[in-house]
Structure 1
């Protein structure tokens, strides 16, 4: 792209962003990351995935983002590095342990986990404090991790459906093992309550189990899909105060299927998204307490969709909103791969705020503006977590 053409595209997007965003802040990492994890409502942890030594960083988001009034008078407009450390290998998965200063990581290659102390007011160093042994896996792939919402520090982890276990961090004791007849590679592990969890497999299967009992897990087969050998990614809404939750499965061919947790084999609605992917960095995620899902990893944009527009019949849908900031602001050199989103997350408490990272090391935190028509619908329609009558 010629310099003048790049400047024109950037200027056009900047003008669009004035009305498309309530807030938009940018940070540049020395090396890109595939992991973003909230450690509090104002701080996140990121880590590199290079083949050798990688940084682990805890960043505080710009305080201007959280100013309710007189944002222009807020002096804190930049990300701030709070704590940092180094990992001897790549970081392919990272989870924060609730109500603690601990994080757990996996290198994306083996099944063992690394435990880290994020430090506190008296230290700005992130230190490795231990290792959690994983179950052997036939696949040469890394473990997925889910932090237990219980008061005791526990992690659910495994690389395959047949190698998932719950481990007590303080003692290293194995508290639960998922027993299945298959060894399907996992794309997600997620608690939906204090004890119930979902294991989402890359072939579209979902196992649901309860760590309090030794009963066999419930298994939901993959959704019917026209894509050959489709890879699937899974996410679930989770709120212990609600009677049920929804599960979304997204395939590499762009087929998205929403199911109720109580009837995983039945589709509540579905849609064909205009995306295709061969990347491993796909993220599909429910917005907190909302009807929106977001998807990334297919290109240099983050797409947001409104599932209220989806039907039981499969049809093509367009995104409600696209964050194109990473793609637009990266001046691609001739012969280089185009920038691609490597991860994104919703803020746990701010329903319009997301954080996204890209392959060029850019980090964006953005508060998007709902289209006027959708804003009116959001005020009148119930949350997706509420039972349909």
Structure 2
């Protein structure tokens, strides 16, 4: 980079920093040695991350900056850095990681097979994360397994599978299979998610969704994507060859999953919201303001805000995380602009040579309405609490 480019980058970074003083309540930055594709809460103040290189990787539990949680007199809190509290090594990449609620245990998958690895995160007497076991899948897979931990207080139940024909519930203590999904199809899965103690969603890369009740032996039927609007806009008409992701808004205070909403997002930027009482229909939809040719499809993510009504976060298209409000969307497909956009990963990496930086993962804080964590392909990890635009005026 020559002097002129360096100066321009410094100006862009300075402008964004000045802007961030008004648009963020909190913003903290951490740099991993290698990128991560997983961020998983292990408590309200700690997260687990792991490397995704093809060789040996770190698996770390990080404590978020204490200054983030100082409600008053933040300026008097000197602790503004992430802190490694537990760590270990894994021989391969980590493409999926889930914490088992109520335990100090996480389960991982390498994205290359259906096998799972079980880890002890350590405690007060040890800062070492150790592998303690494994779980075999029902079939051989080259895409890797998706994992979901149960919502109940029983920490033994684990849901996992690579495709619709090999999903199973496993007792982690005994290794015994508690339930196996039987279907006539073998669609690759993009996610698995519990919506109640006994009901889960198997979301396919094609956009199909299976709602499965593990208490019954009846084979579930897929709920396909709602038909595209007619005539489809040019951008939204591309449904062939795209990858779909999904996330359900789970209300843990309600045992009935029928009131849940599902957000589906395609790699072409089309988003639609369905009600689980009619998952094959669309309550509303939108064409999002995203770049569809900058990054790959593997890291595209959509997630409902757990403590903020009608908000979803979207990432994986670029070096930004976007927040959208779905309450203004209609049944007809229209273009949607984000309510807020976190551009910190892209801005801080503009001086680096090589491919553009893309966000590889993001998660909402389970209780703080506007707090998110995000990670990018340059190894950066950000935690940020954004200010609602009307509050910033």
TM-score normalised according to structure 1 size: 0.93
- Of 265, 270, 273 in structure 1, the residue corresponding to residue 280 of structure 2 is 265
Q: CA deviation at 1:239?
A: 1.3
Which structure 2 residues correspond to residues 269-308 of structure 1 after superposition, within 5 A? 269-275=284-290, 276=292, 278-289=296-307, 290-308=309-327
Q: CA deviation at 1:163?
A: 0.7
Q: How many Å separate the matches in 1 of 2:215 and 2:276? A: 18
Residue of structure 2 in register with 1:387 after alignment: none
Which structure 2 residues correspond to residues 121-270 of structure 1 after superposition, within 5 A? 121-137=124-140, 139-152=141-154, 153-225=156-228, 226-227=237-238, 228-242=240-254, 243=256, 244-270=259-285
Q: How many Å separate the matches in 1 of 2:207 and 2:311? A: 21
Residue of structure 1 in register with 2:113 after alignment: 110
Are 1:344 and 2:362 counterparts?
yes
Structure 2: gaps (5+ residues):
229-236
The superposition leaves residues 68-96 of structure 1 with CA deviations (integer Å, 9 ceiling, x where unpaired) of: 11111112211110000000000010000
Q: CA deviation at 1:21?
A: 0.3
The superposition leaves residues 114-160 of structure 1 with CA deviations (integer Å, 9 ceiling, x where unpaired) of: 000000000000000000011104x5210000001222211100000
- Of 65, 70, 73 in structure 1, the residue corresponding to residue 73 of structure 2 is 70
Change over 3 Å in CA distance of 1:10–1:374 after alignment to 2:
closer
Moved over 4 A (4+): none
Q: How many Å separate the matches in 2 of 1:266 and 1:331? A: 41
Q: CA deviation at 1:57?
A: 0.1
Q: Secondary structure of the residue that 1:11 maps to in structure 2?
A: helix
Q: CA deviation at 1:219?
A: 1.8
Q: How many Å separate the matches in 2 of 1:373 and 1:205? A: 39
Contact 1:204 1:223 (C-alpha < 8 Å) held by counterparts: no
Q: How many Å separate the matches in 2 of 1:33 and 1:235? A: 21
Q: Secondary structure of the residue that 1:219 maps to in structure 2?
A: coil
- Of 36, 40, 44 in structure 2, the residue corresponding to residue 41 of structure 1 is 44
Contact 2:22 2:392 (C-alpha < 8 Å) held by counterparts: no
The superposition leaves residues 295-323 of structure 1 with CA deviations (integer Å, 9 ceiling, x where unpaired) of: 10000000110001211110111111000
Contact 1:332 1:338 (C-alpha < 8 Å) held by counterparts: no
Q: How many Å separate the matches in 2 of 1:85 and 1:141? A: 25
Q: How many Å separate the matches in 1 of 2:252 and 2:78? A: 38
The superposition leaves residues 314-359 of structure 1 with CA deviations (integer Å, 9 ceiling, x where unpaired) of: 011111100000000113434x101100000000011100000000
Q: CA deviation at 1:262?
A: 1.1
Q: How many Å separate the matches in 2 of 1:36 and 1:211? A: 28
TM-score normalised according to structure 2 size: 0.92
Q: CA deviation at 1:195?
A: 1.1
Q: How many Å separate the matches in 1 of 2:221 and 2:351? A: 47
Q: How many Å separate the matches in 2 of 1:48 and 1:367? A: 25
Q: How many Å separate the matches in 2 of 1:186 and 1:374? A: 40
Contact 2:9 2:351 (C-alpha < 8 Å) held by counterparts: no
Q: Secondary structure of the residue that 1:239 maps to in structure 2?
A: coil
Structure 1: gaps (5+ residues):
376-389
Q: Number of aligned residue pairs: give it.
A: 373
Contact 1:26 1:362 (C-alpha < 8 Å) held by counterparts: yes
Residue of structure 1 in register with 2:25 after alignment: 22
Contact 2:6 2:351 (C-alpha < 8 Å) held by counterparts: no
The superposition leaves residues 27-59 of structure 1 with CA deviations (integer Å, 9 ceiling, x where unpaired) of: 000001000000000000000011111000000
Q: CA deviation at 1:229?
A: 2.0
Q: Secondary structure of the residue that 1:356 maps to in structure 2?
A: strand
Q: How many Å separate the matches in 1 of 2:30 and 2:133? A: 31
Residue of structure 2 in register with 1:315 after alignment: 334
Q: CA deviation at 1:374?
A: 11
Q: How many Å separate the matches in 1 of 2:226 and 2:86? A: 43
